Amino acid sequence: MIARRVFSLGAVAAIATTAAYLGLAHTGAWTRLKRRLLNAECTADCFSLDLKQFNYAEYYDSLFDLSHSRQLSAVATGPSIRAEIREAFAGANLHAVQPESFRVLSTERTPGFALHKVRLVLDCGLPVIGCVAVPRDAPRGLALLAHGMGTTPERCFDLTSPDYMGAIGARLCAAGYAVWCPFMPQTGNAPSQDNLVAMLSFEGISYHNAVCSALNLGPWVCRQMKIPELPVVRYAMSWGSIVAATLEAATSARTPSVLSGFLRDEVQLVNSGWVEARAGEPVLTYLHQVPNAVNYFFPALATLLRPCPLYFEIGTGDEMNGNAFGRDDAFTRIQSVYREADAENSVTLRLFAGGHQVEGTEAIKWLLTRV
């Protein structure tokens, strides 16, 4: 169903969308734009601070060092990937984890939850760093949280200085969920992601497979933390929504998923004059370059997702996910695909007053009806 009621955001102010899609995050232009729109010093600069404070810049550089020292290998021994989407993952299997690689790097306790920073290593030799949060009371479920560009797992749990993720990790904990949020390797801009994609490709490793596999390892991470087996949901934002959606398509797990900040007709975007006018800018992503990429974005991707419950959460001021690029038409086509599987009521679009950001309030209520 589509909900036309508009909700105001309580956690963060509206944020402009265009710069994120142009790879301007973590640049001076992006910083100045955010300061002007948000009037918030931390929102403008917190990613730069987080990148250094939480050692993600060092982690990013270390991935290239692993390639230089020949410590990466073209191995993927995890769950089988659905045949129709293997091309997007460059293989037939997700990555498994090296069983003895798990380490707890730090623990921070808050009144409502404990936040553990952990490290593990995929079977291909690629390390993963992320945060697992455990609520004070026994968790009702496990939320796999996929963040977007220009943020960190820690910021997703920061209620005092939230960014466009709206402290959704902390809010999911408050709703009773344990949360696994792996860091998506990048330094806040498209070129940093593209360079890593290329390096891994030369090692026979798919960046997209690695990122999706890291998210999928949430239950394994919880077992290492001695957390009982839990029902699983997903919450994703921006590019994280494509990570979560393609992971669902790969596994057919039917995991209830909130997809925030990403809904449009991708064909309409790619064929638009808007893209043509930006020939020298990093507008499109590595996944757009895969043959048959149209099948791995909405609305075509819905064919591989039905009948998985989906909740789209889009700000009315999110220009890149507005009707200029076919948002409502794309959702209508998704509904049609779900209707063919007698699952039309399993897909929802919620519009709220805001920009490219997590709203969360109604989405969490929706998740609570699922798990």
Task: Provide the residue ranges of all domains of the chain, joining segments of one domain with +.
Answer: 2-370
- Please give the mean pLDDT across all residues of the chain: 90
pLDDT tens-digit profile of 113-148? 999 999 999 999 999 999 999 999 999 999 999 999
Q: Among 24-38, 172-186, 275-289, where is mean pLDDT lowest? A: 24-38
What gap in Å lies between CA 266 and CA 37, rounded to an integer? 27
Confidence bin at 45 (pLDDT 50/70/90): confident
What gap in Å lies between CA 180 and CA 116, rounded to an integer? 10
**In this prediction, what percent of the chain has a pLDDT beyond 70?**
88
State the residue for tokens 């490290």. Answer: 119
User: In the predicted model, what is the mean pLDDT of residues 281-307?
Assistant: 96
- Give pLDDT, residue 5: 31
pLDDT tens-digit profile of 91-103? 999 999 999 999 9
Superfamily of domain 2-370: Alpha/Beta hydrolase fold, catalytic domain (3.40.50.1820)
State the residue for tokens 């998740």. Answer: 367
Q: Is the dihedral of CA 338, 340, 345, 346 positive or negative?
A: negative
- Give pLDDT, residue 43: 56
- What 338-345 contacts at long range (C-beta under 8 Å, 24+ apart), as own/partner pairs, is 338/302, 338/306, 338/307, 340/306, 341/306, 341/307, 342/307, 343/306, 343/307, 344/1, 345/1
CA distances to 77, 93, 238, 302 from 87, rounded to whole Å, are 16, 11, 22, 17
Q: How far is CA 290 from the centre of its chain?
A: 19
First to last CA, the chain: 20
DSSP assigned state of 323: G
pLDDT tens-digit profile of 167-205? 999 999 999 999 999 999 999 889 999 999 999 999 999
SS3 161: coil
**In this prediction, what percent of the chain has a pLDDT beyond 90?**
84
Whether 3 has a pLDDT exceeding 90, the answer reads no
The structure's pTM equals 0.90
Whether 6 has a pLDDT exceeding 90, the answer reads no
pLDDT tens-digit profile of 75-92? 999 999 999 999 999 999
User: In the predicted model, what is the mean pLDDT of residues 338-352?
Assistant: 97
User: In the predicted model, what is the mean pLDDT of residues 259-286?
Assistant: 94
Residues 6+ apart with CB under 8 A from 277: none
What gap in Å lies between CA 68 and CA 51, rounded to an integer? 23
Residues 6+ apart with CB under 8 A from 59: 127, 129, 183, 185
141-146 β-sheet, strand order? 2-3, 347-352, 310-315, 257-260, 232-237, 141-146, 177-182, 127-135, 113-121, 103-109
What gap in Å lies between CA 131 and CA 64, rounded to an integer? 22
Confidence bin at 352 (pLDDT 50/70/90): very high
- Give pLDDT, residue 63: 97
